[in-house]
Every structure is written in structure tokens, then in C-alpha cells.
Chain A
Amino acid sequence: MIEALSYEFMQNALIAGLLVSFIAGIMGSLIVVNRMVFLAGGIAHAAYGGIGIALFTGLPIFVGTSIFAVIAAIFMALVTLKQKENSDIFIGLIWAVGMAIGIIFVDLTPGYNVDLMSYLFGSILAVSSDDIIFMAVLLCIILFVLFFWYRELLAVSYDSEYASLSGINVKFFYTLLLVLSALTVVIAIKVVGLILVIALLTIPIYIAQNLAHSLLSMMFTSGVIASVFTLVGLWLSYTYDLTSGACIILVAGISLILFMIYTKLR
């Protein structure tokens, strides 16, 4: 493993893994406490539409996917705010339609030879320097939002009705959360893939939830836990030549089971 660190792709993988872990820890915490896991899943899958369109039009994948995912997120925010009772149906709809759009555009792309599997299950070892910049920028944006609006986000997440009585623009923060979730999903796709992204956004958070006493500490505890999963998964993936995303998620899943047994026995 030590000699592997001399390779640039390995260094990139490590940096990307840590960045994505902290982003997933922060955003995953917000997604879980707001009960938006299904929503985030919908955005993750809808994002595939962006991948298809980006391939077809020749746009950089990150750019195309981000734009598409953000539009899907805003659309989801609008329908779930307007149609609370039917929100499950609309999430499912956007989930499936987004993927269908992606598949059609990939079909239409001439000479298509991009590895679909790498989007479904991630390819952390193929992370480029540009990808890392994108991830770092997103982490900065998220930290910036937290720095200025932590108390508002906390109020909206814990009790949105009370937050609106306190004069907080609940709709704005709800939409902001979904947009940031969409961008998180886009970058997490690179590391664990869009099928597995939900695991990275929930498993570390579940463990942190039991350890943390505030939303803020939950976010950073989740980030640390996610980092451990990512690094161990990465090491397994490199050593045994296995798919990186699947390794990371299995490490996370097994850790969760052990943690649950531990808390039961304690």
C-alpha cells in the first residue's frame, strides 16, 4: 500500500475519497434528519439523465450531470412542497424518468464506448485533478453555507413549522438542501457510483447519530467514519483488484452490523 501511494492516481483517489467522505458526512446528516433519503435516491438516479445528455452533447460529464441533477432537485423541491401527499409518487417518477432519459441519450450517442459500470458503481481510481477541484469547491460551498446558515438549517431540519414561525424562509432552505444534495450525489457518483451513493449518505450517519449530541458533531463524526470506510475500501479494492465502490459500501455495511451488535450487547 505504501508504494502504491507513489502513483498519482492513488494519491488522487485518497484525496477524492477524503473529500467525498466529508461532503457525504455533512450532507448525509442533513438528508437523514430531514428524512430525505428517498429524495436523494431519486436525485441520484435522475442524475443518470445528465450523464447521458453530457455524453451526447460532448459537455464535460461533471458539468452536464451537475446541471441536470440541480434541475431535477429544484423540480423535486417544487413538487414536494406543493404536493406533500403525493410526493412519493413524484420522487419515483423523477427517479425513473431521469434514468430513462440517460439511457436514451446514451443510445443516441454515436460510437459510445464509455464504461457504464463506472457510473453505476464508481471508479475512484480514475479520479482526475479536475474532479478533485470540483469536489474541493463543493466542500467549500457547503462549509460556507454551514458557517452562515447553520442555525437556520438546524431549525428547518428539526421542526420546519416552528422555523417558519420564527421567520425563517423554510422553502428556500429546503430547496437549498436539495440542490446541495444533488451536487453531493454527482461527486459521490465518481467514488461509489449512483447505485451505491445512498449507502455512503446513510450508513456513516446512522452510526454517528448514536454518538453525536448535536447536528454539527454528527456531520463531522459522519465525515470521519465515512473516511475510514472509504480508505479501508480503497485499500481492499487495490489489494484484491475489486470494484472500489462495492468494497467501500461492503466495509460500511459490515461495520454497521458490527456497530449494531455492539450497541445491543453494551
Chain B
Amino acid sequence: MQNNEALISIENVSFTYEKEPTLSNITLDVYEKDFLVLIGPNGGGKSTLMKLILGLLPLQSGSIKIYNKKAKKVLSKIGYVPQNTNINLNFPIKAIDVVMMGAKEDKTAALTVLKEVGMEEFAQIKIGLLSGGQRQRIMIARALYNEPKILLLDEPTSSIDVDGQEQIYELLKELNKKITIIVISHDLSVIMKYANKVAHIHKRLTFHSLDSLKAQFTTGDEHICEVELLQMLGKLK
């Protein structure tokens, strides 16, 4: 539907850790302001694909281009929120310093992004004292600090309760007005409510634009049979 050029263009990417390929011939285009959800079984290669996009893993075959350039050259345009935010909880560091991590120090800018994620008042609190959901917001603020055009999130709600999850996705929806979002999630209700595209990754990739799917699966009372949908997402071509 979009005529403009793809923001991220992944072509024939395969990746093997040991012997068995984890990803095989992945081809995917991501367009501006997409809200793309990556789903699939554990070990199916979702995180691997994300790390390949970021250049955290070396590309073995195929090509990944962002803004028509090699990923490494445009890293400043990408924000990343890792899966595990419970690392180093004893680390003596304040939330605001996590936000400014690895970049130029600019307290005003840091407070602005903290405000954006609703965490302004926690700026001076030690990161280990925050709850899982609060820490997740800090990580999102850190990813936003460099004003990225694309935001990648690896299971951002895996360690928080349902209310917290809803809030995070509402926040992402708001951010999506300005930036492209790629998120790994297991939560199908999230996909139906927020995403416009879904890619099912299980070694291979099956792609769906959600408009057609929603029409197919949404009955009058908006009830969705999740099991059926999940099967569909994996099988459809």
C-alpha cells in the first residue's frame, strides 16, 4: 500500500549459531510509522533478527539496510529496549543517568524524555529501587534519548503486570505517531489492538498486514479466537 521507500529493508537474511539455522531466508520491509509486531515460538529467531538489525550479531548472509545504508552507520537513528531489564539491580545508578548512558550529558533532554514516559519524578531514584514496569519505562526513555526514528523493543512487557503492559503499549501507540516501532511480543491482544503489521518468525518468516486479518477474524462483538489466530499467523502465506 505504501509507495514510499522502505525504512528497513531485510533481504535473504539467514543466521546460524551452531549447526542448525536459526533464521532462514528472511525478507522483510518496514515502512515509516509502521507498528510491526514480531511473534513466534521461543527460540524461533525473533530476538536474533532484532540483534541482526542492530548489528549486535554479525550478518552471515543476505543484507540489512536502514535508510538505504548499512545498519552500523545509522545506529543513532535506532532506539533499542532490551528484553531483560533486571540486570545489575545493585548497580549504584540513578534513573536519569541510565537515560543519558553512553551519550552526551544533557539533563534537560533527559528530563524531557522521562516526562514523555511519565517517569520525571523518579529521575533521581536508584534504578534498583524501581518496579519492573517503571524500569521498563526508564529503558524506553533511554532509547528515546537520542531521538531515534525507529524503536526496537524485545518483549517490553515480559516482567510487568497486565495494567503496566497496557500502559506501556498506550505509550508506544503515542510514540508511533512520530516513529516506527518494531516490537517482539507474545501477546495477541496487543497485536490486534496496536499493530498494523505482524511477522511470524519460526526460522522462516510469514508476513501479514493486519487490516485483512482483522476483517477475517473480528466478529461483530470483536471477539477473537486467539488459538485459531495464532495458527493462522504461522501458516498463512
**Chain A: residues with CB nearer than 8 A to chain B?**
33, 151-152, 154-155, 157-159, 161-168, 209, 212-215, 217-218
Chain B 77-114, CB-CB to A under 8 Å as 1, else 0, gives: 01010100001101111100110011101000000000
Given that A151-B102, A154-B101, A158-B98 are contacting pairs, would A165 and B92 also be in contact in the complex, using a CB cutoff of 8 Å?
no
Which residues from chain B contact A166 at a C-beta distance below 8 Å?
Answer: 75, 101-103
Minimum C-beta distance from B135 to chain A (A):
12
Q: Contact at B88–A33, with CB atoms within 8 Å?
A: yes
Given that A33-B88, A165-B54, A213-B126 are contacting pairs, would A159 and B101 also be in contact in the complex, using a CB cutoff of 8 Å?
yes
Using CB atoms, name the residue of chain B closest to A218: B92
Q: Which of A33, A159, A166 has the most CB of B within 10 A?
A: A159
Q: Is B197 an interface residue (CB 8 A)?
A: no
Q: Contact at B75–A154, with CB atoms within 8 Å?
A: no
Q: Contact at B82–A161, with CB atoms within 8 Å?
A: yes
Q: Contact at B102–A163, with CB atoms within 8 Å?
A: yes
Minimum C-beta distance from B68 to chain A (A):
20
Q: Is B142 an interface residue (CB 8 A)?
A: yes
Q: Contact at A158–B88, with CB atoms within 8 Å?
A: yes
Q: Contact at B92–A155, with CB atoms within 8 Å?
A: no
Bound: A19/B198 CA distance, A: 59
Q: Contact at A209–B90, with CB atoms within 8 Å?
A: yes
Q: Contact at A154–B80, with CB atoms within 8 Å?
A: no
Which residues from chain B contact A163 at a C-beta distance below 8 Å?
Answer: 101-102
SS of B interface (majority): loop
Q: How large is the interface on B (under 10, 10 to 19, 20 to 34, 35 or more residues)?
A: 20 to 34
Q: Contact at A213–B101, with CB atoms within 8 Å?
A: no
Minimum C-beta distance from A70 to chain B (A):
27
Which residues from chain B contact A162 at a C-beta distance below 8 Å?
Answer: 80, 82, 101-102, 142
Q: Is B130 an interface residue (CB 8 A)?
A: no
Which residues from chain B contact A159 at a C-beta distance below 8 Å?
Answer: 82, 87-88, 101
Q: Contact at A151–B142, with CB atoms within 8 Å?
A: no
| 13 A-B pairs whose Cβ atoms sit less than 8 Å apart in the complex | A33-B91, A151-B101, A158-B101, A159-B82, A159-B88, A161-B56, A162-B80, A165-B75, A165-B102, A166-B75, A167-B75, A213-B126, A214-B93
Which residues from chain A contact B75 at a C-beta distance below 8 Å?
Answer: 165-167
Given that A165-B75, A167-B75 are contacting pairs, would A155 and B90 also be in contact in the complex, using a CB cutoff of 8 Å?
no
Which residues from chain A contact B88 at a C-beta distance below 8 Å?
Answer: 33, 158-159
Q: Contact at B91–A158, with CB atoms within 8 Å?
A: yes
Minimum C-beta distance from A85 to chain B (A):
12
Q: Contact at A151–B105, with CB atoms within 8 Å?
A: yes
Bound: A153/B82 CA distance, A: 20
Using CB atoms, name the residue of chain A closest to B51: A161
Bound: A238/B161 CA distance, A: 59
Q: Contact at A213–B90, with CB atoms within 8 Å?
A: no
Using CB atoms, name the residue of chain A closest to B72: A167
Bound: A33/B89 CA distance, A: 10
Q: Contact at A165–B101, with CB atoms within 8 Å?
A: no
Which residues from chain A contact B78 at a C-beta distance below 8 Å?
Answer: 165
- Give 8 A-B pairs besides A151-B102, A162-B102, A213-B94 with Cβ atoms closer than 8 angstroms: A33-B91, A154-B93, A159-B87, A159-B88, A167-B102, A213-B92, A214-B94, A215-B91
Bound: A66/B126 CA distance, A: 37
Minimum C-beta distance from B90 to chain A (A):
6
Q: Contact at B97–A154, with CB atoms within 8 Å?
A: yes
Q: Contact at A165–B93, with CB atoms within 8 Å?
A: no
Which residues from chain A contact B103 at a C-beta distance below 8 Å?
Answer: 166
Which residues from chain B contact A167 at a C-beta distance below 8 Å?
Answer: 75, 102
Q: Contact at B102–A168, with CB atoms within 8 Å?
A: yes
Bound: A66/B103 CA distance, A: 34
Q: Contact at B92–A215, with CB atoms within 8 Å?
A: yes
Q: Contact at A215–B80, with CB atoms within 8 Å?
A: no
Minimum C-beta distance from A33 to chain B (A):
6
Minimum C-beta distance from B148 to chain A (A):
11
Which residues from chain A contact B56 at a C-beta distance below 8 Å?
Answer: 161, 164-165
